[in-house]
């Protein structure tokens, strides 16, 4: 009866809102004389009643506080105090509740910290050694409460990290021009998600760089990889050194030193890189890292000496053939300061004496100087500036005043060289490097207009009848007459921009005349000689139109236009040519070969004989002939899985398949490959490899994965068996990793030149898709809001800037996914699908940052928390604190209730 009376008293106190004084008087009636206040488990009864309802009852908690205050006055036995504190702090649930309280009432925790400080100062005065040790343990336990969320189990011993390796391979192969900071952010996310120790993380980066350097095709691709390894990656590591680390680690310079010590053990890898580059690659890297403050002088000297000893036993590097060839790493490192000097030179005023500038440009054209300079500029973020300067230079010859033959030839060369350089940049690094944001006040430069409307690119189809190929008829007629005359083309007063725009129409006239028997082969040859004889830009403009024209013809109609293309590609012989002709023709031939590759491949023809063992255009035409693309995807992925990493060749093939099959086809078929893996270690490897492959287009692939593929697997019972572990857990891990990267890359504005441009929705579309009105409030907005009294908050304060930058598609996709998960949990039907949900939430918790609700969990309805903790694996205080938003009152109340119910 006493127990019943006690519960009735508590309920009556709550209903009548008793004050502390009233509670103290009335509760004595239920306690026998002389008994302690906690007779009949009064404290437990109060706590149990306080936790009934949607949130903890503050009034009943105040009675509990009064009880505690009464006992505190009577706790004068110091051993007893230590025992109570130790028992309290050794209970994880209690510590989590205290941690939760500190987020709401920082001042109270400050008082605790001051008391701990005072206690620590007076510990030496305690004579009893046992009591002193107990007090020290208590201080340590209480101090550990704020770090309660960061305590994680030791990761398994793991030394290979395919996702780091593959991500570096992807960036080095396809994104040399990308900004450094997004790359740093992505790498740090991978490091945090996979709990990779810093030395092994840096080691994996270097391993990928050396692998890419060894595997890259000769020529431009090798230069790009060299610039990436020796210029860009040291800058990335410098930013990683300055990156705010969540956990306290050893000095970054020491981590770098340890990573290089590990790298020294990979002698075959280093030897192969040295053979490929014809130099001591590691020593050059050590010097660069030392210059940037990533390695100390002592460590640099020690590592260099160790590598020198190893190289004494390495295969001989220099042979008779390559003894005089300068190594690319040294050339790239020297090219980097040269880029800055050239940019300053081009910026100077050359209107009075452009001959000096012509000498600089001519020097750039010699040998592989241009490719070296472009690679160095791309790796250091100067390529866009480089391109803008040459567009400005290309505009300079438009302005003609009274000129003699010498100034006319200089003007023609300035136009031609800048045009060739810009075409080469577009084909090597993408048109995004060239194109500027449209400005209503200024006229679009000639080259940008020509690039967008007339230049053939991979995956771009041009209309040969487009108005851009049809200028004024009078200009075309005069150009045809000029090309067909026997006299030499005069350069004085020539408007080269207009000539280039008129060339396609002139070529059409010539082609029609030839096909109708008006012109002979010899006459056509003379015309094509005139086109390519002075200004190579004319030949490029002519072939650009011919490629678009040939695409529209049947195979039996292509002979004559393809013959004209070959004529335009063949270099002129003789002395009657402009300066730097040989150097300009080399670049022109490369540009034309790239332009025509697709058209000539259709008929099995080649523009020029292939060099044995060397691809004419690297990474082109990679798909096997007459093989279904799904089979190509499966075959390539299985090869990658066996190998353990994704190389450059594979990335290009995957990119082709992504563009051919589309995002859903690509993602869905690779997820099927993951779900085939029934071995835990292989499923983990697939996750790491797929994560890096999905970086080809993180945004769209993640939207497809979370918005289409997962819902289909979770809602159809026929698919549930495929979600059983280990593939189900692996898919959950992959989904979370992709979602976090998608949040991060979108927030940081990461955009890669390799990704196809897709129109993204603005955040304003969000309100039109989910209109808010009084009669039918949006389910999504009700889901995201915390309660009726609070303003709509998508996330904790640290994440709100990210939320405001997400696209409507991302907001809707993630919110709908959590609505689906919530409904699955509420259906009370257990199976592999609920096991998947459990794995998904566990991975979210594992990857979330301490003190925030995480980039994905912010979309979870608060009502899901009570359902999630019913799953045994999620019934942990750490899980509750991670999945609730402690910055919001409702989040704090739900967290306290959930922890108390565990």
Q: Tell me the pLDDT tens digit for each residue of 228-239.
A: 999 999 999 999
For the four alpha carbons of 710, 714, 715 and 719, in that order, the dihedral sign comes to: positive
Q: Model pTM?
A: 0.77
- Counting every residue, how long is the chain? 902
CB atoms within 10 A of CB 828: 9
pLDDT, residue 794, reads 32
Q: Which two tokens stand for residue 295?
A: 């390695």
Of 203-217, 533-547, 738-752, the one with minimum mean pLDDT is 738-752
pLDDT, residue 855, reads 60
User: In the predicted model, what is the mean pLDDT of residues 49-74?
Assistant: 72
Query: Could you tell me what percent of the chain has a pLDDT over 90?
Result: 34
Task: Say yes or no to pLDDT of 418 above 90.
Answer: yes
User: In the predicted model, what is the mean pLDDT of residues 787-806?
Assistant: 39
User: In the predicted model, what is the mean pLDDT of residues 739-759?
Assistant: 53
Distance CA 500, CA 445 (A): 14
Distance CA 28, CA 8 (A): 14
pLDDT tens profile 821-840: 888 887 778 889 988 988 88
Average pLDDT for the chain? 80
Distance CA 318, CA 312 (A): 13
pLDDT, residue 575, reads 62
Of 165-169, 612-616, 843-847, the one with minimum mean pLDDT is 612-616
pLDDT, residue 401, reads 65
Q: Which of 475, 594, 488, 592 is nearest to 541 (CA)?
A: 592
Of 242-246, 533-537, 581-585, the one with minimum mean pLDDT is 242-246
DSSP for 591-636 reads: HHHHHHHHHHHHTT--SSPPPTTS-SSTT-S-SPTT--HHHHHHHH
User: In the predicted model, what is the mean pLDDT of residues 199-209?
Assistant: 95
Which tops the pLDDT comparison, 444 or 743?
444
Which phi and psi angles does 370 have, rounded to 5°?
Answer: -60, -45
pLDDT, residue 63, reads 81
User: In the predicted model, what is the mean pLDDT of residues 93-116?
Assistant: 72
pLDDT, residue 843, reads 85
CB burial class (10 A; 0-12, 13-18, 19+) of residue 481? exposed
User: In the predicted model, what is the mean pLDDT of residues 126-134?
Assistant: 79
**pLDDT band, residue 31 (cuts 50/70/90):** low
Q: Which of 666, 671, 664 is nearest to 714 (CA)?
A: 671
Query: Could you tell me what percent of the chain has a pLDDT over 70?
Result: 78
């Amino acid at each position: 009866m006493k127990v019943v009376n006690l519960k009735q008293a508590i309920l009556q106190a709550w209903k009548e809102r008793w004050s502390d004084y009233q509670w103290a008087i009335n509760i004595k009636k239920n306690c026998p004389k002389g008994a302690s206040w906690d007779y009949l488990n009064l404290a437990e009864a109060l706590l149990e009643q306080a936790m009934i309802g949607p949130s903890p009852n503050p009034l009943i908690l105040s009675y509990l506080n009064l009880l505690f205050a009464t006992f505190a006055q009577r706790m004068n036995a110091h051993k007893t105090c230590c025992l109570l504190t130790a028992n309290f702090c050794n209970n994880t649930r209690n510590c989590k509740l205290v941690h939760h309280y500190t987020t709401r009432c920082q001042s109270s925790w400050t008082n605790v910290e001051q008391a701990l400080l005072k206690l620590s100062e007076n510990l030496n005065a305690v004579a009893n050694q046992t009591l002193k040790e107990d007090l020290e343990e208590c201080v340590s336990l209480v101090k550990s409460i704020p770090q309660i969320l960061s305590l994680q189990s030791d990761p398994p011993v793991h030394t290979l990290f395919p996702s780091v390796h593959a991500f570096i391979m992807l960036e080095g192969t396809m994104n040399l021009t990308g900004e450094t900071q997004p790359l740093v952010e992505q790498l740090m996310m991978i490091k945090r998600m996979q709990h990779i120790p810093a030395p092994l993380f840096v080691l994996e980066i270097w391993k990928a760089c050396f692998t890419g350097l060894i595997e890259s095709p000769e020529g431009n691709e090798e230069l790009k990889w060299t610039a990436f390894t020796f210029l860009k990656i040291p800058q990335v590591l410098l930013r990683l050194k300055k990156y705010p680390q969540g956990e306290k680690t050893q000095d970054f310079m020491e981590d770098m030193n340890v990573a290089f010590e590990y790298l020294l053990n990979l002698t075959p890898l280093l030897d192969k890189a040295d053979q490929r580059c014809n130099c001591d690659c590691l020593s050059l890297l050590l010097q660069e890292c030392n210059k940037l403050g990533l390695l100390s002088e002592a460590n640099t000297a020690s590592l260099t000496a160790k590598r020198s000893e190893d190289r004494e036993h390495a295969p001989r590097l220099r042979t008779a053939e390559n003894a005089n060839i300068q190594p690319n790493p040294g050339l790239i490192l020297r090219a980097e300061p040269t880029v800055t000097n050239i940019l300053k030179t081009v910026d100077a005023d050359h209107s009075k004496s452009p001959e000096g500038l012509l000498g600089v440009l001519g020097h750039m054209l010699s040998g592989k100087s241009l490719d070296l300079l472009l690679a160095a500029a791309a790796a250091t973020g100067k390529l866009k500036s480089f391109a803008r300067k040459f567009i400005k230079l290309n505009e300079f010859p438009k302005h003609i005043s009274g000129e003699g033959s010498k100034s006319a030839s200089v003007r023609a060369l300035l136009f031609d060289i800048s045009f060739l350089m810009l075409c080469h940049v577009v084909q090597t690094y993408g048109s995004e490097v060239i194109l500027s944001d449209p400005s209503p006040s200024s006229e679009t430069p000639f080259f940008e207009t020509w690039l967008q409307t007339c230049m053939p690119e991979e995956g771009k189809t041009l209309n040969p009848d487009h108005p851009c190929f049809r200028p004024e008829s009078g200009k075309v007629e005069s150009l045809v007459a000029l090309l067909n005359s026997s006299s030499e083309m005069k350069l004085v007063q020539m408007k080269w921009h207009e000539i280039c725009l008129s060339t396609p129409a002139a070529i059409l006239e010539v082609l029609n005349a030839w096909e109708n028997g008006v012109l002979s082969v010899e006459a056509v040859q003379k015309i094509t000689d005139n086109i390519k004889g002075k200004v190579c830009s004319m030949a490029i403009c002519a072939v650009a139109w011919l490629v678009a024209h040939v695409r529209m013809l049947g195979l039996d109609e292509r002979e004559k236009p393809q013959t004209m293309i070959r004529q335009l590609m063949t270099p002129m012989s003789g002395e009657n040519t402009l300066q730097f002709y040989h150097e300009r023709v080399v670049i022109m031939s490369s540009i034309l070969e790239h332009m025509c590759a697709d058209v000539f491949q259709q008929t099995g023809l080649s523009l020029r004989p292939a060099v044995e063992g060397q691809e004419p255009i690297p990474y082109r035409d990679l798909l096997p002939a007459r093989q279904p693309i799904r089979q190509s995807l499966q075959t390539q992925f299985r090869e990658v899985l066996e190998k353990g990493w994704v190389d450059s060749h594979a990335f290009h093939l995957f990119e082709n398949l992504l563009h051919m099959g589309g995002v859903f086809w690509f993602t869905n078929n690779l997820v099927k490959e993951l779900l085939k893996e029934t071995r835990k270690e292989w499923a983990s490897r697939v996750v790491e490899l797929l994560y890096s492959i999905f970086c080809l287009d993180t945004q769209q692939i993640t939207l497809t994965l979370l918005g289409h593929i997962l819902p289909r697997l979770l809602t159809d019972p026929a698919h549930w068996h495929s979600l059983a572990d280990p593939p189900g857990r692996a898919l959950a891990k992959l989904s979370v990793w992709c979602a976090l990267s998608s949040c991060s890359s979108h927030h940081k504005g990461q955009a890669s030149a390799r990704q196809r441009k897709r129109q993204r929705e603005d955040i304003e579309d969000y309100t039109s898709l989910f209109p808010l009105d009084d009669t039918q409030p949006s389910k999504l907005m009700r889901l995201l809001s915390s309660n009726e009294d609070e303003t709509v908050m998508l996330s904790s304060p640290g994440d709100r800037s990210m939320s405001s930058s997400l696209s409507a598609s991302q907001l809707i996709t993630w919110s709908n996914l959590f609505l689906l998960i919530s409904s699955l949990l509420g259906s009370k039907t257990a199976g592999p699908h609920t096991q998947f949900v459990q794995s998904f939430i566990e991975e979210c918790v594992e990857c979330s940052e301490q003190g925030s609700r995480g980039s994905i969990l912010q979309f979870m309805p608060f009502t899901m928390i009570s359902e999630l903790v019913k799953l045994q694996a999620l019934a942990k205080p750490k899980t509750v604190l991670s999945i609730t938003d402690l910055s919001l009152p409702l989040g704090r109340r739900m967290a306290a209730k959930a922890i108390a119910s565990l």
